[in-house]
Amino acid sequence: MFGNISCGRMASVLFLALLFSSCSRIRTMDGFTQGTTYHIVTVGGGINKQQIDSLLSAFDLSLSTYIPGSLISRINRDEPAVLLDDYFIELFNISARVYEETGGAFDLTVGPLVNAWGFGPENSAGNDSLLIDSLLQFVGMDKLRIKDGFLEKDMAGMKLDVNAVAQGYSVDVVGDFLEDNGIGNYLVEIGGEVRARGKKPHDSSWRIGIDKPYENNFSPGKDLQEILVLNDMSLATSGNYRKFYVKDGVKYSHSINPATGYPVMDRLLSATIVSRQCACADAFATACMIMGLEESMSMIEGNDMLEAYFVYSGDKGEFLVRYSSGFENFIAP
Q: How far apart are CA 161 and CA 236, in angstroms?
A: 18
Q: Cα(331)–Cα(8) distance, rounded to whole angstroms?
A: 25
More confident residue, 327 or 112: 327
For 137, which DSSP code?
G
Task: List pLDDT tens digits, range 127-140.
Answer: 667 788 888 899 99
The reply to whether 106 falls in a domain is: yes
Domain count along the chain: 1
Task: Tell me the HSE value of 112 on the side-chain side, using a 13 A CA sphere.
Answer: 20
The DSSP element (H or E) to which 180 belongs, if any, is: helix 166-180
Burial (CB count within 10 angstroms: exposed 0-12, middle 13-18, buried 19+), residue 86: exposed
How far out from the chain centre does Cα 288 lie?
A: 12
Report residue 242's pLDDT band, with 50, 70 and 90 as the boundaries: very low
CATH of the domain at 96: 1.10.3980.10
Q: What average pLDDT does the segment 173-183 reach?
A: 97
Angle at 93 between CA 76 and CA 60, to 5 degrees: 50
Interval 276-332: pLDDT, tens: 999 999 999 999 999 999 999 999 999 999 999 998 888 887 888 999 999 999 998
Amino acid at 311: V
Rounded to whole angstroms, how far apart are CA atoms 211 and 109? Answer: 29
Q: Specify if 147 maps to a domain.
A: yes
Task: Average the pLDDT over each of 15-24, 37-46, 65-74, 183-192 and give the range with the smallest value.
Answer: 15-24
- Position 149 in a domain: yes
pTM of this structure? 0.86
Rg, the chain, Cα only: 19
Q: Which residues in 3-25 are b (16+ Cβ under 10 Å) and which e? A: bebeebbbbbbbbeeeebeeeee
CA angle 246–225–272, rounded 5-degree value:
75
160 falls within a domain: no
Least confident of 81-85, 120-124, 272-276: 120-124
Q: Letter for the amino acid at 13?
A: V
Measured over the CA atoms of residue 7, residue 9, residue 15 and residue 16, the dihedral's sign is: positive
In a domain, 234, yes or no: no
> What does the pLDDT average to over 155-169?
94
pLDDT tens-digit series, residues 55-99: 999 999 999 988 999 999 999 999 999 999 999 999 999 999 999
Does the structure show a pLDDT above 60 at 121? no
User: Per residue in 255-271, pLDDT tens?
Assistant: 788 888 888 777 888 89
- DSSP assignment of 48-59 equals -HHHHHHHHHHH
The band of 117, judged by pLDDT with boundaries at 50, 70 and 90, is low
Residue 174 lies in a domain: no
Domain range for 108 is: 57-153
pLDDT in tens, 2-35: 543 223 333 344 444 444 434 547 899 999 998 8
Contacts of 61 (CB under 8 A, 6+ apart): 67, 69, 70, 71
Cβ(268)–Cβ(296) below 8 Å: yes
In this prediction, residue 19 carries a pLDDT of 41
Confidence band, pLDDT 50/70/90 cuts, at residue 122? low
Residue 129 belongs to a domain: yes
Q: Is residue 298 part of a domain?
A: no
CB-based contact 10:238 (threshold 8 Å): yes
- Ranges assigned E (strand) in 168-205: 186-190, 193-197
Other CB atoms within a 10 A radius of the CB of residue 332 amount to 13
Distance, first Cα to last Cα, the chain: 37
pLDDT band at 229; cut points 50, 70, 90: very high
Cα(37)–Cα(269) distance, rounded to whole angstroms?
23
